[in-house]
């Protein structure tokens, strides 16, 4: 009797392999041959599930985004206001190995997204979703009297988003200067500027 293959699981396995190859070899080194080798499947199996390199890279990026969104639900459970906002912000910085890997993957895709319309749309949609979550947490902290309600929540959101991107890139390039402790200190200092005493 032939083995029944769950196509969704197989696509996920291949996308996870692509994720690992991007982390170890960079996006330019993530060839279909390397992805197939990493997955343990043949290049023929890879081509059965994906049209080419960009297709599998897109699946890897979407998998990363789904994983992160699921974690947001978990880490924010039971938290409100400034406490929830701080946890959310720190989880989006490379303060642990999981976040370092996710940040590496995300940043690796930025240059490719500039020339690939599908990847660019995925990045923009994810950025929009991230911004909506962040803004809702900012507004909740303002409504609870923890952050200055006179500062535009959109401006706070945009500044915090830009700070995450900037600090993340600095942490990847200069890990000796931007370790988890330093990243946490800088984010706390920024929040303190809007905090209601």
Q: For 72, how many CA atoms within 13 A lie in the half-sphere containing its CB?
A: 17
pLDDT per residue as tens digits for the range 97-107: 999 999 999 99
Selection from 75, 63, 74 nearest residue 19 by Cα? 63
Residue 144 · residue 80 · CB < 8 Å:
yes
pLDDT per residue as tens digits for the range 145-176: 999 999 999 999 999 999 999 999 999 999 99
pLDDT per residue as tens digits for the range 8-27: 888 889 999 998 999 999 88
How far is 34 from 71, CA to CA, in rounded Å?
Answer: 29
What secondary structure does DSSP assign to 95-115, as a single string? Answer: -SHHHHHHHHHHHHHHHHHTT
What are the residue ranges spanned by the domains of the chain? 7-194
Q: What is the pTM of this model?
A: 0.87
pLDDT at 4: 61
Q: Each residue of 84-114: b (16+ CB within 10 Å) or e?
A: bbbebbbbbbbbeeebbbbbbbbbbbeebbe
How far is 40 from 157, CA to CA, in rounded Å?
Answer: 43
Q: Output the CA–CA distances (angstroms, integers) from residue 134 to 55, 97, 129, 153, 164, in the order listed.
A: 29, 22, 9, 10, 11
- The yes/no answer on whether domain 7-194 falls in CATH 1.10.357.10 is yes
Selection from 114, 196, 187, 185 nearest residue 150 by Cα? 196
Write out the two tokens for 46: 């890879």
pLDDT per residue as tens digits for the range 33-56: 999 999 998 888 888 888 888 898
65: enclosing H helix or E strand: helix 53-76
Q: Which residue has the higher pLDDT, 143 or 31?
A: 143
How far is 61 from 102, CA to CA, in rounded Å?
Answer: 10
pLDDT per residue as tens digits for the range 104-134: 999 998 988 899 898 899 999 999 999 999 9
How far is 165 from 160, CA to CA, in rounded Å?
Answer: 9
Residue 21 · residue 29 · CB < 8 Å:
yes
């Amino acid at each position: 009797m032939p083995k029944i293959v769950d196509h969704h699981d197989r696509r996920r396995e291949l996308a996870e392999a692509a994720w690992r190859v991007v982390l170890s070899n960079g996006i330019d080194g993530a060839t279909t041959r390397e992805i197939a080798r990493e997955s343990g499947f043949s290049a023929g199996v890879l081509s059965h599930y994906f049209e080419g390199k960009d297709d599998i890279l897109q699946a890897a990026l979407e998998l990363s985004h789904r994983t992160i969104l699921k974690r947001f639900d978990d880490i924010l459970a039971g938290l409100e206001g400034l406490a929830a906002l701080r946890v959310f912000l720190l989880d989006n910085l490379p303060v642990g190995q999981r976040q370092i890997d996710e940040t590496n993957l995300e940043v690796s895709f930025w240059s490719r997204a500039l020339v690939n319309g599908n990847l660019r749309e995925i990045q923009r949609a994810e950025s929009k979703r991230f911004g909506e979550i962040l803004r809702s947490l900012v507004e909740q902290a303002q409504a609870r009297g923890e952050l200055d309600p006179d500062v535009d929540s959109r401006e706070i959101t945009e500044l915090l988003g830009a700070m995450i991107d900037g600090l993340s890139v600095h942490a990847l390039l200069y890990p000796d200067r931007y370790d988890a402790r330093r990243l946490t200190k800088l984010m706390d200092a920024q929040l303190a500027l809007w905090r209601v005493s």
